[in-house]
Amino acid sequence: MEAELRERVRRLLADHDPAGTDRLDFLRARFDAGLAWVHFPPGLGGLGAPRALQALVDAELEAAGAPDNDPRRIGIGLGMAAPTLLRYGTEEQKQRFLRPLWTGEEVWCQLFSEPGAGSDLAALATRAVPEGDGWRVDGQKVWTSTAHTARWAILIARTDPDLPKHRGITYFVCDMTDPGVEVRPLRQLTGEAEFNEVFLTGVRIPDTHRLGGVGEGWQVAQTTLNNERVAIGGQAMPREGGMVGVVAATWRERPELRTHELHQRLLKAWVDAEVARLAGERLRQQLAVGQPGPEGAAMKLAFARLAQELSGLEVELLGEEGLAYDDWTMRRPETVDFNGRQAGYRYLRAKGNSIEGGTSEILRNIIAERVLGLPAEPRTDKDMPWKELPR
């Protein structure tokens, strides 16, 4: 299989010289050659090859100067929408959505969290009511990254309020350009408006844009959530990559700032970061042979804890200089630029790491129950119809 992949890469580069080919044309050709995500089926950007061989393809194309699809900008589509579409989508849905998703021609966002249902996502109140050959959706979502640039959204909505909260939920693909979809910026602690509020008023979604069965949305959403946690916490990272590299560099370059106490904290954080990096590598190896499990929750939890610990350490190391803030101008960024801003920005932005993609409290419950096998937390609302829940 390795030899076949190398030959396919050679033919792609011969037919589409990266130096003289339009970026988008190259990405489309790469998808059609089955070299986008090699573990996907033929015709959907892949070849049904082992997932571990993707690294071989990526390395050969990078060495040849081939353009990438800017994965940070389209991370929700790649990391969350695509694996859900692959598992639950119809053949027509896969053919329609996966190619422009991978090339970045169409950006995706995730309409899951709500003002009254963030940590307890299953308590969501956005309603989808049958109407004609589709559904009418009304409700409000919050903390929605990239909604201001997205063409499509993955959406969960309540379709049967008479059932307990984890049932009676259905999963849809929502066109963000449809009438009734309103996106408002949500300014954050950093001054940026990276997230959004999304209001849905009489939004019409055809039944052909439903993923999975009616009332089975919670099960479908688990695929999305498991992949989301892996996408956030399981990113490939070189030694001293990310936040620990930034703080270690400051430590080496600014000897006048050093104290014994800060040295001890930095050493511990460095070891923790290395353990997390190697655990992430093991998780990616597990992914190569199957679907992500609850292990992704542990990685996401570790990522959030480390980011907050290191950003706090950096501010303390820099003293008054660390309290300075470079710019409060409201921006609408498409990605988080941790390394391009000052320590104050990193400190404030890292606070969101324990909220986004599942709060640390919820992730601890998942680890306790699904990984460690501890008794489940008492839940009095487990069998109660959603409409009878106190709100």
- Output phi, psi for 44, to 5 deg: -120, 30
Contact 307, 350 (CB under 8 A): yes
Is 228 labeled as catalytic in the residue annotation?
A: yes
**∠ CA 239-240-244, rounded to 5°:** 145
Contact 62, 202 (CB under 8 A): no
Q: Which of 192, 216, 228, 314 is catalytic?
A: 228
Which helix (H) or strand (E) element contains residue 222?
helix 217-233
- Radius of gyration of the chain from Cα atoms? 22
CA 300 to mean position of chain CA atoms: 11
DSSP 376: P
Q: Give the Cα separation of 102 and 205 in Å (integer).
A: 23
Residue in 96, 20, 94, 36 with CA at minimum distance from that of residue 68: 36
Residues 6+ positions from 266 with CB-CB distance below 8 Å: 247, 248, 251, 313
Contact 173, 209 (CB under 8 A): yes
Which helix (H) or strand (E) element contains residue 127?
strand 127-131
Strand segments (E) across 209-324: 210-211
Which helix (H) or strand (E) element contains residue 171?
strand 169-175
Residue in 272, 287, 247 with CA at minimum distance from that of residue 79: 287
Residue in 26, 10, 8 with CA at minimum distance from that of residue 18: 26
Which amino acid is it at 74? Answer: I
Strands 134-141 and 195-206: antiparallel
* Active site residues per annotation: 228
